[in-house]
Amino acid sequence: MILALVAQLYLDAGRMSGVLEALARSGIPLAAILVPAGFFFSSAGKGRTAPNAFVWLLYAGAAVLGIGVVALGLGLLSAAT
């Protein structure tokens, strides 16, 4: 969540707009929700010794985080030029 808050500061300072801003502004906080949800829901259940099908939330969160951070980086690089 701290990364999401810091990213918001960079987004405001970089004065980004368009698709890259939307991906970064919503993707990074969404990943902060998906990853813990994946850990929680994949281990929920009585007597569970292996993760269930909700483990896909972890992979989705990692992918969304990667897309958001790359969008933030590309947006900041394009705003600097």
Report pLDDT for 37. Answer: 93
Q: What pLDDT score does 58 carry?
A: 94
Residue 75: the pLDDT is: 87
The angle at the Cα of 23, spanning 20 to 24, to the nearest 5 degrees, equals 85
For 35-73, what is each residue's pLDDT tens digit?
999 999 998 888 888 888 889 999 999 999 999 999 999
Q: How many domains does the chain have?
A: 1
Q: Over 80: is that where the pLDDT of 9 sits? A: yes
pLDDT higher than 80, residue 74: yes
Q: In which residue are the tokens 């909700």 written?
A: 54
In order of 28, 36, 65, 69, 77, the CA distances from 72 in angstroms are 9, 22, 10, 5, 9
User: What is the model's pTM?
Assistant: 0.85
Contact 38, 55 (CB under 8 A): yes
Considering Cα of 15, then 20, then 24, then 30, what sign does the dihedral take? positive
Q: What domain range includes position 29?
A: 2-80
